Amino acid sequence: MNRLRKLVWAYLLLLVFEGALRKWVIHSLDAPLLLIRDPVAMWIYFEAWRNRLAFNNFFFGANLALAVSTALLATLFGIANSLVTIYGLRTDFLQVPLIFLIPQILNRDDVIAMGKFACYAAIPITAVVIYQFRSPPDSWINIGTMATHYGTVRPSGTFSFVTGLSSFYALTSAYLFYGFIQGRLYKIWLMALVTCCLLLGSACSGSRTCLVEIGIVAVVAVLCVVTRGKGGVGMLVAAGLIGLAAVSLSSLSVVQEGVGQLNQRIDDAGNVEGGAGGFVARFFNSMLTPVMTMGQVPLFGYGLGLGTNAAAGLFQTDDVLYWPEAEWDRLIFECGPIFGFLLCIFRLALTLAVAKRAYDAYRRDNILPILIFASCGLLILNGQWGVPTILGFAIFGAGLTLAACEEPPEDDEDEEEYDEEHEEESAPSPSSGTRD
């Protein structure tokens, strides 16, 4: 099991630093490194099989059946080549079993340790974000970032795209609020520093998604405190610290510039979408519209994987096709109204299953799973899995949610104390001697 734990840690490290490898360390292997976590996932499967971990979960069977069916239909009726189909298989199905293997490998203590790593990692990552925001768009540090019409970039930190940074900050915020509510979990200086990092990073990110994801975690944290009647002092400390940090950081020019650009972007998007209500409506429409327009695609779709940007680059055609952005739209576009709809239902069932486990843990007074789920639930439901980093945070976040539900085994220290006491009772008294 130690090797499996190390492999899960390796997956996490690659998830956080894969973009840095692609952009700055081994830029010549940019494309292959995009899939660097896939071999780690397959290695975990092999080690899990050797250690006789359970593969009999319902979702294992459903995932395999959908993978075989959609690949076969893509081969028979799809318009793309076999490489595109293979890429579609790794996008939609390859890493799903990890969700249910991770809780067999890790427990809540392991998840908390990973949270401490995320908090420490947020510090240098935020430093990179600020440096990227302050650097010219054509600077080496801004390789792969998205330029804005303000003459700046939307920083991505150590990730390939800003979506990875948003997902990382959301996950880190889950651990941060857990630390505030539980108390004595992380050092107060670390929580204060991470609070500043999240404020600085989200201000410079130019990402509405980043704000929404952190906001969801914050709302769930407040609800946990209100409904449980515990952790109120911790949340008051969090509120005071956030307010103090926000006031202190607001005088920095980098924050003023970042917030100004972010507000302008929100206003511009609001004019198109219709404000916050339009933003919410767009989210629900991303799931409802594909279902309402299923009849506009072939019965068995255009082929598994064809809706992903990476796979589309492998496919050459003179025909003009509509390449969907919304995730459920992509699933129906690729697999048709029947199997595409089944994939949407599969994603919905997967999300509900993870959510139920998190809620059950909450009822047992364990709030960590529901906080982690708050950071990744939307990625599981309809996140763009064609983007490898989003896929990674969806899969790993779901796995961490389930692992956080697992109680750690009894401490070895308790067993050692028992052994020591037993030895003391059985040992002869120093004052007693041996009679002749």
* Alpha-carbon separation of residue 374 from 17, 131, 200, 400 (angstroms): 23, 29, 21, 12
Residue with tokens 């792969």: 144
Q: What is the mean pLDDT of the chain?
A: 87
Least confident of 139-148, 201-210, 227-236, 249-258: 139-148
Report d(CA 363, CA 236) in Å as an integer: 23
pLDDT of amino acid 240? 94
User: What is the reported pLDDT for 419?
Assistant: 45
Residue 145 token pair: 């970032």
The segment with the largest mean pLDDT, out of 208-212, 305-309, 377-381, is: 377-381
* Per-position DSSP letters for 38-52, written without gaps between them: HHHHHHHHHHHHHTT
- pLDDT above 70: residue 68: yes
Q: What percent of the chain has pLDDT over 70?
A: 87
Residue with the larger pLDDT of the pair 148 and 425:
148
Give the model confidence (pLDDT) of 340-394 as tens digits: 999 999 999 999 999 999 999 999 999 999 999 999 999 999 999 999 999 999 9
Do 343 and 66 contact (CB within 8 A), yes or no? yes
| pTM, two decimal places | 0.89
CA gyration radius, the chain: 24
Backbone angles phi, psi at 146, to 5 degrees: -95, 120
As a dihedral over the C-alpha atoms of residue 411, residue 414, residue 418, residue 420, rounded to 10 degrees, the angle is 100
Across 195-202, average pLDDT = 95
Amino acid at 3: R
CA gap 256, 251 in Å, rounded: 7
Q: Is 411 exposed, middle or buried (0-12, 13-18, 19+ CB in 10 A)?
A: exposed
Is the per-residue pLDDT at 321 higher than 70?
no
Tallying the residues shown for the chain, one arrives at 436
